[in-house]
């Protein structure tokens, strides 16, 4: 869809509305499109075998010449993770803060496209001027360092996008959210606000990251053996606090887990994470030190199957075996859907004799997202004319809309939109004017987009009841069966139990095929259909299951 309206700002989210993750929003004015973030989401439980999901950027490809760049709010996967895939199709400049681009860089390197990409480091406070649009980065606070909100200035008005944020008055790095700038913009007039809705259902305020440091110090003070802390690798402030507590209690620090090693290295190189060189030891060298002098910082705070902590809990980590006296701190909350995995890891650690501290026991994690009171603050400072909640499931967007209403906003100025909706805004009016093509591209192994709904449907059926393959070889000219029917199953029931069923099934197939052959019907399609039909009826009658039935007719 090409816009004919030149005096309007068009805002189109290609992801991040009605879902957690895959955040990407295009803001368009005249012949320029700027794109805020480009993230992945993690597969839904019914996306069998899918590794990750990226946005469908058809709209951007159709407007290739307009797209001036990606402007990144921060370095989390759900905001930068799709760049390696998307830049291959649409190679435009990328703008972000140093840490954000440091993380992007290492991704692009892995995908072997770094040398072809145009990365531009900005600082909070900087403005990138394009022809009609200019893009301003504004410091905010979040669970990753060097995070920003973004203001988009156009001749007909401003759009403010909060990014993911919380209001932390005492951040670890002292970089307090630039509330004054947001206030000034609000005073000057903001046409449209897009704001993070993740925690809108929570009352009150999000606790400052600094509180966690106090908890950690208290817990470290009592620890007598090794301390193993699992947290999000990207939460550099958390890492710094774990490091500080470790150094205070004379512990060396070892990192374990691929993303932990990678991200901590990037953060150290860029000066976001400060560890005296003599305090770092390799994970293979921890045995050289007394237990009370070791801290291990690992991935796996979500119980991810092959992560470092999960391997430690399962007793299959190469360098770390749980010892009596080990204290494990899981410094994270379960992301919905991960509860069972984390719980299993906690159970396994207890069974191996470790003490385990997790969130229901101590205050060892805080969210990175604003709760209701913080959202109210931002709305009150920015005082936008129009409002579009972003970053959340539909329920969160709805609640955020209601919150804005309670603050006195006119209901008709609030746009609870869906992915692909085109919100057209100018100084006098705003309206959803249409929809562009969007979607979820599934990445599975090296394949991008080659797993579609029919494949997923099959995988679901296979997972439920398995598959029953029927092979039969027919002699074409004599209308006779020369081999088979053979029935082979996978993921079905125990062969022992199902032997009778399989024998009966073979008889049924034989009868069906012989019927067709007797009628001189050699249509593979007809034979297959008859076999499939009679078999699935028989199996369902016998055991109330619906395996995939795959008849194969060979002709000689």
In the DSSP assignment, the letter for residue 334 is P
- Residue choice 113, 270, 398, 517 for contact with a copy of itself (CB under 8 A): 398
| H helix or E strand, kind and range, residue 286 | none
Number of residues that bind a copy of itself (CB under 8 A): 66
Beta carbon of residue 545, minimum distance to a copy of itself (angstroms, whole number):
4
| Shorter beta-carbon distance to a copy of itself: residue 457 or 515 | 457
CA atoms of 98 and 175, how far apart (whole Å): 14
Contact code string over 493-512 relative to a copy of itself, x by CB under 8 A: xx--xx--------------
Among 153, 161, 317, 369, the one annotated catalytic: 369
| Shorter beta-carbon distance to a copy of itself: residue 268 or 493 | 493
CA dihedral 373, 376, 378, 381 (to 10 degrees): -120
- Residue choice 21, 152, 484, 513 for contact with a copy of itself (CB under 8 A): 484
432 binds a copy of itself (CB under 8 A): no
| Shorter beta-carbon distance to a copy of itself: residue 480 or 526 | 480
| Shorter beta-carbon distance to a copy of itself: residue 93 or 449 | 449
CA atoms of 267 and 244, how far apart (whole Å): 15
Q: Is 146 a catalytic residue?
A: no
| Shorter beta-carbon distance to a copy of itself: residue 18 or 439 | 18
**Six-digit token string for 499:** 């032997």
Give, as ranges, the residues between 243 and 302 that touch a copy of itself (CB under 8 A): none
373 binds a copy of itself (CB under 8 A): no
**Six-digit token string for 300:** 């796996």
Contact code string over 319-358 relative to a copy of itself, x by CB under 8 A: -----------------xx-xx--x--xx--xx----x--
Q: Is 486 a catalytic residue?
A: no
**Six-digit token string for 447:** 């394949």
Beta carbon of residue 155, minimum distance to a copy of itself (angstroms, whole number):
36
- Three-state DSSP string of 159-172: EEECCCCECCCCCC
170-187 per-residue burial string, b: 16 or more CB within 10 A, e: under 16: ebbeebebbbebbeebbe
Beta carbon of residue 41, minimum distance to a copy of itself (angstroms, whole number):
13
Query: Would you call 476 exposed, middle or buried from its count of C-beta atoms within 10 A (0-12, 13-18, 19+)?
Result: exposed
| Shorter beta-carbon distance to a copy of itself: residue 58 or 265 | 58
Contacts of 211 (CB under 8 A, 6+ apart): 363, 366
Beta carbon of residue 300, minimum distance to a copy of itself (angstroms, whole number):
16
**Residue 231 · residue 240 · CB < 8 Å:** no
**Six-digit token string for 64:** 């290739």
Contacts of 117 (CB under 8 A, 6+ apart): 87, 91, 94, 108
Beta-strand runs (E) in 342-479: 355-357, 384-390, 421-425, 430-435, 440-444, 447-448, 467-475
CA dihedral 534, 537, 540, 542 (to 10 degrees): -70
Number of neighbours of residue 421 by Cβ within 10 angstroms: 19
| Shorter beta-carbon distance to a copy of itself: residue 100 or 498 | 498
- Residue matched to tokens 């150094």: 247
314 binds a copy of itself (CB under 8 A): no
**Six-digit token string for 166:** 């919380």
Query: Would you call 534 exposed, middle or buried from its count of C-beta atoms within 10 A (0-12, 13-18, 19+)?
Result: middle
**Six-digit token string for 536:** 């699935």
ω into 20 cis (within 30 of 0): no
Give, as ranges, the residues between 28 and 57 that touch a copy of itself (CB under 8 A): 44-45, 48-49
Pairing of strands 252-256, 355-357: unpaired
Among 37, 56, 168, 196, the one annotated catalytic: 196
Beta carbon of residue 278, minimum distance to a copy of itself (angstroms, whole number):
37
Q: Residue 111, annotated ligand binder?
A: no
548 binds a copy of itself (CB under 8 A): yes
Contact code string over 183-202 relative to a copy of itself, x by CB under 8 A: ------------------xx
Q: Residue 365, annotated ligand binder?
A: yes
- Residue choice 110, 323, 450, 507 for contact with a copy of itself (CB under 8 A): 450
* Residue 482 main-chain phi, psi, to 5 deg: -110, -20
Contacts of 199 (CB under 8 A, 6+ apart): 166, 206, 367, 369, 370, 371, 372
Segment near a copy of itself (CB under 8 A); pick from 105-113, 266-274, 320-328, 489-497: 489-497
393 binds a copy of itself (CB under 8 A): yes
Q: Residue 267, annotated ligand binder?
A: no
Give the active site residues: 196, 369
Binding positions for Zn(2+): 74, 76, 78-79, 142, 164, 391
Binding positions: 49, 51, 74, 76, 78-79, 142, 164, 233-235, 365-369, 391, 444
Binding positions for substrate: 233-235, 365-369
Interface residues with a copy of itself (CB under 8 A) are: 18, 44-45, 48-49, 201-202, 336-337, 339-340, 343, 346-347, 350-351, 356, 360-361, 393-395, 398-399, 444-447, 450-452, 455, 458-460, 462-467, 469, 471, 473, 482-484, 486, 488, 490-494, 497-498, 542-545, 548, 550, 552, 554-556
């Amino acid at each position: 869809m090409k816009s004919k309206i030149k005096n309007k700002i068009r805002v189109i989210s290609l992801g991040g509305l009605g879902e957690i993750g895959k955040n990407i929003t295009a803001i368009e004015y005249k012949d320029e499109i700027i794109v805020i973030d480009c993230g992945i989401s993690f597969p839904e439980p019914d996306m069998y075998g899918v590794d990750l999901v990226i946005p469908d950027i058809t709209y951007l490809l159709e407007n290739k010449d307009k797209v001036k760049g990606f402007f990144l709010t921060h370095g989390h996967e759900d905001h930068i993770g799709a760049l390696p895939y998307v830049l291959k199709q649409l190679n435009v400049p990328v703008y972000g803060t140093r840490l954000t681009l440091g993380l992007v860089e290492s991704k692009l390197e892995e995908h072997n496209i770094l040398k072809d990409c145009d990365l531009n480091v900005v600082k909070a406070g900087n403005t990138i001027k394009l022809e009609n649009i200019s893009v301003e980065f504004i410091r905010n606070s979040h669970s990753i360092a060097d995070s920003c909100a973004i203001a988009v200035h156009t001749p007909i008005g401003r759009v403010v996008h909060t990014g993911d944020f919380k209001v932390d008055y005492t951040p670890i790095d002292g970089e307090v959210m630039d509330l004054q700038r947001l206030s000034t913009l609000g005073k000057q007039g903001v046409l449209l606000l897009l704001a993070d809705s993740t925690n809108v259902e929570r009352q009150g305020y999000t606790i400052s990251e600094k509180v966690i440091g106090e908890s950690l110090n208290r817990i470290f003070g009592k620890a007598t053996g090794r301390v193993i802390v699992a947290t999000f690798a990207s939460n550099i402030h958390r890492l710094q606090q774990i490091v500080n507590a470790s150094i205070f209690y004379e512990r060396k620090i070892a990192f374990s887990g691929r993303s932990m090693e990678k991200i901590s290295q990037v953060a150290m190189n860029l000066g976001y994470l400060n560890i005296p060189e003599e305090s770092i030891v390799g994970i293979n060298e921890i045995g050289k030190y007394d237990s009370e002098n070791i801290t291990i910082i690992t991935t796996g705070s979500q119980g991810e199957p092959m992560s470092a902590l999960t391997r430690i809990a399962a007793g299959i980590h190469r360098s770390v075996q749980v010892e009596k006296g080990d204290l494990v701190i899981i410094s994270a909350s379960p992301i919905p859907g991960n509860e069972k995995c984390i719980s299993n890891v906690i159970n396994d650690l207890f069974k191996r004799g470790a003490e385990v501290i997790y969130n229901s026991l101590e205050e060892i994690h805080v969210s990175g997202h604003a709760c209701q009171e913080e959202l109210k603050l931002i709305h009150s400072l920015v005082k936008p004319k129009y409002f579009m909640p972003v970053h959340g499931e539909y329920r969160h967007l709805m609640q955020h809309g209601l919150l804005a209403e309670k603050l006195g906003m006119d209901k008709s100025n609030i746009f609870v939109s869906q992915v692909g909706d085109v919100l057209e805004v100018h100084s006098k009016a705003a309206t959803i004017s249409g929809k562009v093509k969007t979607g979820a591209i599934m990445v599975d192994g090296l394949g991008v987009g080659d797993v579609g709904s029919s494949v997923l449907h099959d995988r679901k059926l296979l997972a439920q009841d398995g598959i029953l393959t029927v092979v039969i070889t027919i002699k074409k000219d004599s209308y006779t069966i020369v081999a088979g029917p053979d029935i082979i199953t996978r993921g079905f029931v125990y062969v022992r139990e199902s032997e009778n069923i399989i024998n009966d099934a073979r008889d049924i197939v034989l009868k069906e095929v012989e019927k067709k052959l007797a009628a001189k019907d050699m249509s593979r399609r007809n034979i297959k259909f008859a076999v499939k039909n009679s078999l699935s009826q028989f199996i369902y009658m016998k055991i109330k299951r619906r395996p995939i039935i795959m008849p194969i007719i060979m002709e000689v």
